């Protein structure tokens, strides 16, 4: 009598791998914050893409913005930031450097050299009635979480408008009743 021994094939293991992949994706979909690494990863050397605009305050370019950019570079992304002179807050964009690595964190089209899909370009305020895709909502939440970890708060007027915690707002932005 002949005994046939079978070794597990890729086909017999794939349901378990597929199940594990689905569980991981479901967890990420439920919590975009989980997709943002809690610690900054080592970044390749080179010049930072964070730009200081005029009227950015006496402190100039915050080290926290450079830390955000450094952590993103290791993940296939780059932070582009400039100071919004009227508000004194930062206008940010996230550019794709390596779409393959970036696809592990953000969603939507990720062409190298393009920007992460946030629904509208940085600097454009969308009408309240505009409806965005789930990918756009996910990317915006991911950016808010990333920036919050580096002590930046998203201002309510737009996804791209951030202010650094602990930095006083310019006098023009304060409420007259608070004076």
Give the pLDDT confidence of 96-114 residue by residue, as tens digits. Answer: 999 999 999 999 999 999 9
Q: Where are the alpha helices (DSSP H) in 74-162?
A: 99-102, 134-149
3-state per-residue secondary structure call for 19-58? HHHHHHHHHHHHCHHHHCCCCCCCCCCCCCCECCCCCCCC
Residue numbers of the chain with a pLDDT score lower than 50: 10, 24-25, 27-55, 58, 170-179
Q: What is the pTM of this model?
A: 0.63
* CA 31/CA 106 separation, integer angstroms: 12
Burial class (CB in 10 A: 0-12, 13-18, 19+), 60: exposed
Residue 62: predicted pLDDT: 78
């Amino acid at each position: 009598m002949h005994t046939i021994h079978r070794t597990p094939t890729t086909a017999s293991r794939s349901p378990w791998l597929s199940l594990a992949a689905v569980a991981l994706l479901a967890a990420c979909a439920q919590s975009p914050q989980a997709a943002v690494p809690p610690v900054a990863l080592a970044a390749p050397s080179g010049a930072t893409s964070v730009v200081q605009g005029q009227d950015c305050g006496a402190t100039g370019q915050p080290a926290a913005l450079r830390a955000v950019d450094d952590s993103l570079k290791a993940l296939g992304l780059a932070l582009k930031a400039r100071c919004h002179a009227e508000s004194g807050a930062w206008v940010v964009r996230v550019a794709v450097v390596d779409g393959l690595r970036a696809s592990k964190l953000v969603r939507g089209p990720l062409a190298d050299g393009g920007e992460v899909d946030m629904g509208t370009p940085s600097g454009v305020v969308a009408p309240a009635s505009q409806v965005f895709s789930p990918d756009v909502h996910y990317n915006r939440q991911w950016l808010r979480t990333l920036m919050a970890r580096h002590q930046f708060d998203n201002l309510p007027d737009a996804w791209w408008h951030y202010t650094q915690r602990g930095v006083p707002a310019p006098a023009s932005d304060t409420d007259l009743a608070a004076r």
